[in-house]
Structure 1
Amino acid sequence: MRTWAFFLGGLIIWAAHFFALYAIASLFLTSPIARWLTLAATLVCAAAASGLLIVARQKSAGSDTDNWLAQLSTLFAGGALIAVLWQGLPALII
């Protein structure tokens, strides 16, 4: 189970951020509190994705299967970091 959580961690972080932004937008619409909550959610999820990216990059030593999983986890965490920043950007620049 831990391997799956590590493997899909980036996608889980991105999905949590995605749903959090939708909840914030639904509850607070365009109020200033929505911008601050969006900033907070984006920073928390970006930090989590960055941490997972660092751990996955360092874990690439080992057997071929472990190396492949670590490299794929690195790809997913990097993609999640880009997606989180991309989703949080419009609420912060308008």
Structure 2
Amino acid sequence: MTRWLAMTAGLLIWAAHFLGLYLLASAADVWSSTEAAAGRWIGLGFSLLCLALIAVVAVVMARRPLPDGPGLWERRVALTGALVAAVGVTWQTTPLAF
């Protein structure tokens, strides 16, 4: 189970980012305007935190010693998932900047 968690950690962070931005946007819509600067800065900070976590996951997986067997495949899956997650987080954050 921990092997699957390690391989999908980046994608799970991306999913949490999607949910978090959705909740932040919904809260900003209820409490203030969606165009308010404070909500955008909070969303941007949350996105940067998620990108940092994805980078940590990628570094940990890249430095992990390879076990016997399918270790190289697991590393490739984890690093590819982290790359896809970083692109996804960046893409979802883009509307906050404009």
* TM-score normalised by length of structure 1: 0.89
Q: C-alpha distance in 1, partners of 2:38/2:8?
A: 31
Give how far 1:25 is off: 0.9
Alpha-carbon contact 1:50-1:77 (below 8 Å) kept: yes
Matched, 1:18 2:23: no
Q: Distance in 1 between matches of 2:83 and 2:58?
A: 6
* Residue of structure 2 aligned with 1:61, choices 58, 66, 87: 66
Deviation at 1:60, TM superposition (A): 6.1
Counterpart of 1:39 in structure 2 is: 44
Q: Say which SS state the counterpart of residue 61 (structure 1) adopts.
A: coil
Partners of 1:72 and 1:60 lie apart in 2 by: 15
Percent identity, please. Answer: 30
Is the CA contact 1:7–1:73 (under 8 Å) kept in the aligned structure 2? yes
Q: Which amino acid aligns with 2:68?
A: S
TM-score by length of 2: 0.86
In structure 1, the gaps of 5 or more residues are: none
Give runs of ≥4 in structure 1 deviating > 3 Å.
none
8 Å contact kept, 1:60–1:70:
no
Q: Report deviation, 1:53.
A: 1.1
Structure ID, larger Rg = 2
RMSD: 1.4
Aligned partner of 2:6 in structure 1 is 6
In 1, Cα distance between the equivalents of 2:16 and 2:52? Answer: 13
Q: How many residues align?
A: 93
